[in-house]
């Protein structure tokens, strides 16, 4: 009788019962499916989160732009008569405003005061678009002897920004050499006797 040698190869796959092999494949397939769903959810979350952050950043930048006030004010002759009483000249003038900011602004009020000078807006509001100009009529009260000092006059503006909030802005206006000085000095000079 010949002896049969039975050799079992332990490295060989596929010796599990068919029923158990199918369950294992189903578990692996389910794990892959769940993993793919998690990866897809993560990718969608990243995309939506990036979009949301971008929109939030744009919204914040727009809000910041709408609150910025940047303007330049230049005195212009708007001379339409005036009076000289005891060395004090009262006349009408105008300020030319240039909006150098990124959003439209509405100038609600203008006011400035220092010894010898009073400037008051005449009450009308003026919308000035970005990069645009507008004129505001003002009443001036100037003392001939003290009004025209070398330091600029700090003019306060009450400005409504695009977000409908009022802000106070100051701008230095040079009076020396301005049209206001020219108009006032012509009235400050005593009349020539003939």
Quick one: pLDDT band at residue 44, thresholds 50, 70, 90? confident
Report CA 95 to chain centroid distance, whole Å: 23
Residue 92, domain member (yes or no):
yes
CATH number of the structural domain spanning residue 156: 2.60.40
Residue 8, domain member (yes or no):
no
Residue 29, domain member (yes or no):
yes
Both 76 and 165 in a single domain?
A: yes
pLDDT of residue 191 exceeding 60 = no
Both 49 and 101 in a single domain?
A: no
Both 141 and 61 in a single domain?
A: no
pLDDT of residue 31 exceeding 50 = yes
Quick one: pLDDT band at residue 12, thresholds 50, 70, 90? low
The domain in which residue 91 lies consists of: 71-188
- Count of domains forming the chain: 2
Which of these, 137, 133, 136, 74, lies nearest to 104 by C-alpha position? 133
The DSSP call for residue 5 is: P
Which of these, 182, 156, 192, lies nearest to 71 by C-alpha position? 156
Both 61 and 77 in a single domain?
A: no
Residue 6, domain member (yes or no):
no
Both 101 and 140 in a single domain?
A: yes
As a whole-number percent, the residues of the chain with pLDDT over 70 amount to 75
Alpha helices (runs of H) in the chain, residue ranges in sequence order? 18-67, 179-188
Residue 1, domain member (yes or no):
no
């Amino acid at each position: 009788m010949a002896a049969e040698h039975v050799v079992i190869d332990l490295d060989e796959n596929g010796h599990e019962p068919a029923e158990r092999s199918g369950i294992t494949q189903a578990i692996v397939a389910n794990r892959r499916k769940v993993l793919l769903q998690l990866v897809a959810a993560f990718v969608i979350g990243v995309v939506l989160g990036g979009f949301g952050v971008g929109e939030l950043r744009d919204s914040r930048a727009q809000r910041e732009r709408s609150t910025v006030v940047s303007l330049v004010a230049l005195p212009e002759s708007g001379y339409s008569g005036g009076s000289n009483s005891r060395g004090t000249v009262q006349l009408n003038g105008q300020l030319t405003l240039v909006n150098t900011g990124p959003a439209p602004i509405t100038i609600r009020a203008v006011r400035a005061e220092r010894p010898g000078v009073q400037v008051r807006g005449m009450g009308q509001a003026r919308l000035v678009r970005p990069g645009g100009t507008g004129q505001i009529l003002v009443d001036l009260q100037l003392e001939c002897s003290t009004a025209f000092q070398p330091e600029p006059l700090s003019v306060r503006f009450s400005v409504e920004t695009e977000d409908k909030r009022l802000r106070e802005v100051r701008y230095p206006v040079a009076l020396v050499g301005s049209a206001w000085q020219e108009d006032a000095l012509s009235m400050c000079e005593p009349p020539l006797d003939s």
